[in-house]
Structure 1
Amino acid sequence: MKNLFKILALVFTGLIVFSCEKDEDQAVITETSAGKLSADKSAIVLNELNANVAVITFNWTKPTYNISVVSSQQLEFGIKGDNFKKSASVDFSNDMTSGPVTNAAMNAAMFSIGAVPDVVNDIEVRLKTSVGSAAFYSNVVAIKVTPYTPNPDLVYPKINVPGSYAGAAGYANWTPANSPNLFSPGKNDEYRGFIWINTVAGAEDGKYKFAINQDWPGNKGDDGSNSGKLKADGDNIKAPAAGTYYIKVNWAANTYSSVIANFGVIGDATPTGWGSDTDFVYNPATKTFVINSIALSTTGVFKFRANDDWAMKFQPKDADQTLVSGTAVQSYLSSENTVTGDPGYKVSEAGNYKIELDLHNSAYYKLKITKL
C-alpha cells in the first residue's frame, strides 16, 4: 500500500511539473506598433447600378508584435459616435496591405449597422487584426457615406415553397429554384409570406412543401399529423381551398401555419365606401395582386384588408400617406405588428387608378398606384 501511495505521489508531482513547464512555454502577445489605416476618399455615394465596382480603396500598415504570429485582418465599419458597438466587417487576406470595397459590399455593411439610405451618414472605419482570440485595432478613419436602399430579395434569408400550384402562379411546378419564397425579416429562422393557389380541384392540385437553398436536399413537409408540424422529407401539404395564403414557418422549431388571406381595397375614398371591398385579382405575369381600375377621391382614405375583415390590413407605417402616381412605396401588414395606429392612404388628385400590391417579399411589401 505504501508503494502504491509513493507511485501516485510521483505521478501527481510529474503532472505538476509538466503543467508548469507548459505554462512557461506560453508567450504573451503584445503589439509593438499599431496598424495605420487611410482611405483614398473621404465621401462616397453608393450606386446599385455599379454594385460590383470598387467605390473606395483603403490602405494600411499592418501592426507588429513581440513574437512571430499568423494573423487575420478585416476592415470594421460603425456609425460615428457608436464606438463600434454595432459593426460590420469586410475581410481581407493576410498578405494584403491595400484593398478596394465595392458598392455592394459597402452598402451591405451600411445596411447591417443601420445607416440610413439616401442620406449622408458619418461612418468610422478601422483595421481589426486578430491573433487567435486577441484583437488589435488601428486608428479610426472618418468617411461620409450615402447608401442606397438594398434589394430586399438579396438581403434577407429565405426558404422556397415549391408545389403543384406554382406553375399557374407564374413560377414552375415543384421547382425550388423557381417558386415563391418566404422571407425572414428578423433573420432568425422565422419565415413568412404569401402564395397564390388557383385550384385544389384535383387530387394533386394545391400541394406544396418547403425547401431551402433553392434545392430539394433538406426539404421539409408535414409530419403526417396535419397539425402544423414539419419533418424532413415530410408529406406534401394540400391547401383546403383556392385563394391567397399567408404562411409562417419556424424552420428551427419545425412548425408552420397557413391561413387564407384574400385582399381587397376599402375606404371612403372608394366608390363603395366603408361598406364593402373591391377585390384584387392575381396576375401571374407580373406576380402581383391588381385592381385594374377603380375611382379614388381626394376626400377620404383607403386601405387594404383580407377576407372582408379587419384582422389583416396593409397600411402605411404610422401616419396617413399620400401616394404619388407611378411611385412604389413600402406597405406594412398590421398583423405583423409593424403598424402604429390605424393610418390609411390618400391620393392628391381624384380619378381612376390602377392599384398593384407586390407581396412576393415579406420583408418589403410594395404598393403602387397609377393614374389612368
Structure 2
Amino acid sequence: MKKYINKLFLLGSLLFLAASCESEGVVTTLQSVSFPSAIEVSSTSIVLKEDTSDDAALLVSWPKVTFPIAAPVTYAVQFDLTTDIKGSEAWLHAKRIVVGEDVLSKSFTGAELNKIATDLGLKTDVSGELVIRVEAAMDHKVYSAPITINVTPYLKTVVMGEIYMPGSYQGEWDVETAATLNEIQLGVYQGYMTLAPDRDPIFKFNKARNWAQFYGAGNTNFDLKNMSDANFVLPGAGSYQIKVNLNTLKWSSTPYSWGIVGTSQAGGWDNSTPMSYDHQTKTWKITANLVTGALKFRLNNSWTINYGPADPSTNTINLDNGGAYDIPEAGVYEVTFKIDEVDPLSNGYPKTATCTIVKK
C-alpha cells in the first residue's frame, strides 16, 4: 500500500509542477526560443568618410522573435571583433546598443559606426572585420547567428571652431550673448538651446560674434544661404540640439532635454520633468516644487542615458549609476545640471557630470 501511495504522491507532484509552468507565464526559460531566420545588413563592406559622417552608413534588420508569453521583446545590437567571440570571454567586450521594444531594425550613421569601430580597436584607413549579432530579451536573452562585415574607419579631425545663433529666443537679438555651436568635425557644428513659449522661433547663424557674415534661410527653412535676410524657424517651444553643416549648407534641430526624475517630482520614475538650457552658462536648470523622495537625472525622458550619485554627499553624478539624491522635505528647489556634451555622438557621454539642488 505504501508503494502505491508513494507513486501517487510522485505523480501528483509532477502534475503540480507541469500546471505551475503553464499557469505562470513568466517561466519561459524551459521552452526553446530562437531567431526564426538570419539577420540582415544593408552592406557587408563599408568605407567611412568624415565628410559624410551624418549620413546613414549601415542598416541592421532582423525577424521578430516570439516568446511563449505575450509581452514586449527588447532588442539590442552587439558589435565585436572576430577574435573576441569565442571562448570563456566571448562577447564580453562587445559594444551593445539598445534598440527598444518590438523594433526590428536599427540604422547607424557614419559617425556612430566609426566610433564603434575605433572603440573596438580597428585601425583608421584600414579595412577590418566587425561581427554583429542581435539580442532579444524578455525573461531571458537569445541571440541571432552572427554576421561579419568589413569596415574602414576614418581618423577624426581635431577641430576647435565655433559659430553662433542669435535669435528671438534671447529676447533681444544679441550676437554677443547668442548660443554657441562648437565644431565637432570639419565644418560641422553642434550646440543646445531652449525656446520659451513666449518667444518667437526665428534666428540666424553667424560666423563670428558680429554681423560681418551670417547665414539665413535659402530655398527651404533647412538650407543655409550666405547673407540671406530670411530667418530660420524652429518647430516650437522646447529644448533642442542644433546641428549645422557648412559643407552641405544644411541645418537640423532635434528635441533634446535633460530632466529630473524620481519620486520627488511629479512624474515619479515613469516621466521626467524637463529642464531648460541656459546657453550662456551652458547649464541645464529648473525651479520646481519637489516633495520628499528620490531625484536623479536622465536624457529625453528615457533611461538610455541617466546619471545618479555614487556618493550622495557630493555634487558629482555618475553615468548609469543606480543611486539617487534624497529630497528631505517638500518645497521649491532650484536644480542645475552641467555636463560636457560637446559631441556625445562621437565621444560618448562623460562618466561624470555635476549638479546642485538648492531649496529656495
Q: TM-score range by the shorter chain?
A: 0.3 to 0.5
Provide TM-score, normalisation by structure 1. Answer: 0.41
Provide TM-score, normalisation by structure 2. Answer: 0.43
